[in-house]
């Protein structure tokens, strides 16, 4: 077993770690994100804190069964200006509905990373980005969802901004790694300090 594990099935997050030259293994955490999110929302937690809690739950669950291994959990949440949170779409129809809600407006994206060892968190960071989606026609939404459903179904916001999703936006504020799904700069700094990345 490698010294570093990513508790995620996200191809985008794995690609970020690979591109950074890190040696790691990826394993799913199998956390019930929907139930945990609902519980946290009911308790009045913010979208930012929910992203952090989901990342922590993944990291802790996997690290508890891998003694001595550093496990990175990550998660992202999306909130509209009115505080409404959007989850990953469950169908192409729901993806189209989400895109209609975001079109022509600003939303917030929070991406959290938590490192855990032996079932306890040892480090955390949350990145924040603001994104302004351009107005979208019904025809564009229908064609976009039909063409990209297999990849956008795994993302909050129904876009992969590193790919065709860049077509959806007028403006973004925030580092690109946070938008893709993980606050890479603080994560890399911590990994270097922990001896898990080249210094």
Catalytic residues: 75
Closest CA to 14 of 180, 186, 192, 189: 180
Residue 15's contacts (CB-CB under 8 Å, 6 or more residues apart) are: none
What is the distance between the alpha carbons of residues 158 and 177, in angstroms, rounded to a whole number? Answer: 17
> 136 with 58: CB under 8 angstroms?
no
- Which strand (E) or helix (H) includes residue 55? helix 47-63
**How many other CB atoms are found less than 10 A from the CB of residue 43?**
10
Does residue 119 come out as left (phi exceeding 0), alpha (psi in the -120 to 50 range) or beta?
left
């Amino acid at each position: 077993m490698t010294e570093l594990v990513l508790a995620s099935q996200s191809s985008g997050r794995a690609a970020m770690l690979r591109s950074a030259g890190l040696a790691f293994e990826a394993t799913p955490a199998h956390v019930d994100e929907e139930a945990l999110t609902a519980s946290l929302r009911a308790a009045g937690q913010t979208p930012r804190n929910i992203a952090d809690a989901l990342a922590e739950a993944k990291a802790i669950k996997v690290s508890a069964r891998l003694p001595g291994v550093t496990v990175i959990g990550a998660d992202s949440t999306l909130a509209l200006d009115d505080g409404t949170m959007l989850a990953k779409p469950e169908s192409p129809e729901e993806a189209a509905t989400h895109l209609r809600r975001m079109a022509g407006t600003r939303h917030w994206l929070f991406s959290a990373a938590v490192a855990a060892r032996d079932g306890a968190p040892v480090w955390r960071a949350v990145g924040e980005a603001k994104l302004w989606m351009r107005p979208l026609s019904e025809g564009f939404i229908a064609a976009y969802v039909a063409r990209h459903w297999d990849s956008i179904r795994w993302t909050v916001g129904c876009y992969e901004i590193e790919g065709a999703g860049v077509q959806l936006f007028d403006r973004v504020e925030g580092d690109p790694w946070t938008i893709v799904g993980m606050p890479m700069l603080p994560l890399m700094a911590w990994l270097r300090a922990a001896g898990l990345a080249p210094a």
